[in-house]
Every structure is written in C-alpha cells, then in structure tokens.
C-alpha cells in the first residue's frame, strides 16, 4: 500500500500523490470508504490513476461518481474508460453532458485541424446533471456546486469549506482559462464568475492546472480588470462585446476627418 499524501484533509491531488505531472489536476475527495474524482484527465493516464486509487486503499465500490468541471478533452477524455473500470456514474453540467454523451470532438477541443490536434473523444453517458446550488455528498463531506461560466458555458466549481475546486477560472500566475467562442466562452460571464470567487470567503483555490494557491484578491482584481478590457478588443473576435475603435472611425468618417488631418 502507498502512503496517502493529502494536500488538505480529505483531498488528494493525483500529481502530488504520484510526484509527477500527468496532465490536468485530478482531485480525489474522500471520507472513510466513500470518494469522488474531480476531472479524470486524459485516457492514457487512467490506468495509472486507477492503480494509485487501489494502492492508497480506496475501495472501487466506494466511488460515488466521476465529476467533470467542464467538457474540455484534457479533463474528460478518460471518463468512459474510468467509468467502465470503476462501475460508477458520471456527473456534469447539462451543457457539458451533451458534448460528453455525443463525443463532440469540436466543442471539447479534441479536434483542432488548424493546429494538428486530432484526438479521440469516447462518448460517455452522464447520469447526474449538476446545477448551481446542488450539493454533492461524500461521506460526511459536502461539495456545493457553483456554476462559474466564462471559460466554457458549462464550467463548474465546487466549494468545500475553505476550499474551492475552481476549474479553469484562474491560475496562480493570474492567467485564466482559454477564451474561444466555439466552446461557449463568454467574457461578461467570466468577469462575473471571477468576481464571485473574489467576493467569497474561501481561503484556497484548487485549480484544474498548476499549483494550488491561497486566494489572492489583488490577483483576482487584476484578472477581472483585464477580462473587462478584453470585452472591448478585436483580439477576442465574437467574444468581445464591442470594438470602440470602429465607433471612433465611424465618427471620423462622418466628420470628414482625413488621415493627415491634425487631431
């Protein structure tokens, strides 16, 4: 048997437990013999994760569900395989469930032809639909479901006391989850989700990528401000709300202003 290396009481993060980075952060929340996995990651790491579960003496029969924070391939490609091995259920937001059940390679980022990305996305049935305000029970523990859209339309976070499993909302360096129109990114919603995290009294953020870190309001303030600026930048295409420069250009044309004319 392996010694358990929880990052916090009742929380194991697989990369920390194994001492190597396998992909996205994979969290095991456990109490007694009951447990859940938040984001299983890629299919080719499932065997190693399942073997770890066995070696830290968590019974397969105690797995309450495999939970998806959202439906990006790096978080959920291994769900079908893990579900078959563990004989358990899958839980996700309704908007993620449609992509998971159809194996949608476009919306999950499994297929991006322009970048040479071409991965399988095994479809998997979703038994439990998670919505804002729902509660997930693991033994005596409770995870409160937050809908925190912005990165994707289905992005969920899960609060457990002082800890927030915060998905792809924000990372320790202040970066945020990728913004892309075709998988449901929404800049206004992203600002609101970051503001919700900022205004909460959680103490630790457990992201889906990179190090766990203490909630830093200055870091969040900077990200919220930056996303607000993105709303008015052509850089973000159809995700942007408007492009003020074009309004200015229209005014200049209407006023007959020429390029060489003094401002």
pLDDT 10s digits, 150-175:
999 999 999 999 999 999 999 999 99
pTM of the model: 0.94
Residue 263's pLDDT band (boundaries 50, 70, 90)? low
Q: Alpha-carbon distance 48 to 14, whole Å? A: 10
Residue 217 DSSP label:
H
Q: Give the CA distances from residue 26 to residues 10, 42, 89, in Å, rounded to whole numbers and listed in that order.
A: 14, 10, 17
pLDDT value for 171: 97
May I ask the CATH class of domain 11-254?
Answer: alpha beta
**pLDDT tens per residue, range 51-99:** 999 999 999 999 999 999 999 999 999 999 999 999 999 999 999 999 9
∠ Cα 249 251 253 (to 5°): 70
Secondary structure E strands in the chain: 11-13, 27-31, 34-38, 63-67, 90-92, 111-112, 117-118, 128-129, 135-138, 141-147, 156-160, 163-167, 204-207, 213-214
**pLDDT tens per residue, range 131-149:** 999 999 999 999 999 999 9
pLDDT value for 182: 82
User: Which are the contacts of 94, defined by CB distance < 8 A and separation ≥ 6?
Assistant: 129, 131, 154
- 3 token code pair: 């010694």
User: Which are the contacts of 2, defined by CB distance < 8 A and separation ≥ 6?
Assistant: 17, 52, 55, 56
Q: Alpha-carbon distance 155 to 80, whole Å? A: 20
* Domain boundary assignment for the chain: 11-254
Mean residue pLDDT across the chain: 95
């Amino acid at each position: 048997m392996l010694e358990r290396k929880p990052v916090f009481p009742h929380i194991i993060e697989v990369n920390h437990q194994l001492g190597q980075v396998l992909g996205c952060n994979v969290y095991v929340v456990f109490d007694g013999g009951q447990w859940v996995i938040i984001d299983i990651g890629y299919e080719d790491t499932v065997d190693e994760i399942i073997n770890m579960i066995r070696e830290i003496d968590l019974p397969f029969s105690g797995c309450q569900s495999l939970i998806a924070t959202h439906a990006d391939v790096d978080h959920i490609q291994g769900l079908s395989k893990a579900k078959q091995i563990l004989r358990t259920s899958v839980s996700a937001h309704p908007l993620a469930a449609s992509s998971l059940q159809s194996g949608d390679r476009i919306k999950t980022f499994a297929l991006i032809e322009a970048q040479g990305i071409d991965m399988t996305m095994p479809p998997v049935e979703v038994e439990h639909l998670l919505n804002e305000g729902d509660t997930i029970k693991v033994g005596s523990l409770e995870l409160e479901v937050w809908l925190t859209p912005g990165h994707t339309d289905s992005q969920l976070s899960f609060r457990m006391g002082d800890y927030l499993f915060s998905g792809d909302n924000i990372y320790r360096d202040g970066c945020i989850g990728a913004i892309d129109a075709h998988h449901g990114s929404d800049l206004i919603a992203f600002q609101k989700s970051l503001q919700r995290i900022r205004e909460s009294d959680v103490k630790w953020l457990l992201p889906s990528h990179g190090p766990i870190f203490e909630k830093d309001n200055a870091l969040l303030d900077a990200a919220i401000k930056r996303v607000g600026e993105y709303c008015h930048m052509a850089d973000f295409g159809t995700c942007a709300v408007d492009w003020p420069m074009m309004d200015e250009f229209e005014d200049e044309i209407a006023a007959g202003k020429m390029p060489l004319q003094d401002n």
